[in-house]
Amino acid sequence: MRSAVEAAAYAVKIWTVYSSFTHPKATIAAYRHESADRKPGPGMLLHAMSKFHVTAARTLMVGDRDEDRQAAARARCDFEDATKFFAQFTEEATH
């Protein structure tokens, strides 16, 4: 049986991955600052929407934390809880 993540990878194409290395308490000075790219800021979502020329109405943020939900709200895009989102692929993989 495939895992939910494996099933999701077959169902969608992952075009890019975004991450933020900044943190207000980072031990490395160059990374020690606030950034809109750090959730709950919407920066990474806004970058992705701009890069791929998609609107917020056509963007879905999948996450498992309140910060993820807040970032989606600030970017004005839909949000789906990761447990619920990946469960649909687990169900498909077992049928």
| pLDDT class of 5 with cuts at 50, 70, 90 | low
Domain boundaries defined on the chain: 4-94
Residue recorded with tokens 């943020």 = 61
Given the candidates 3.60.15.10, 3.30.360.10, 3.40.50.300, 3.40.50.1000, the CATH classification of the domain at 4-94 is: 3.40.50.1000
CA dist., res. 68 & res. 35, Å (int): 15
Burial state string for 16-44 with b = 16 or more CB within 10 A and e = fewer than 16: eeeeeebeeeeeeeeeeeeebbbbebbbb
How confident is the model over 34-46, as pLDDT tens digits?
Answer: 999 999 999 999 9
Q: What is the pLDDT of residue 1?
A: 45
| pLDDT class of 53 with cuts at 50, 70, 90 | very high
Q: What is the pLDDT of residue 16?
A: 81
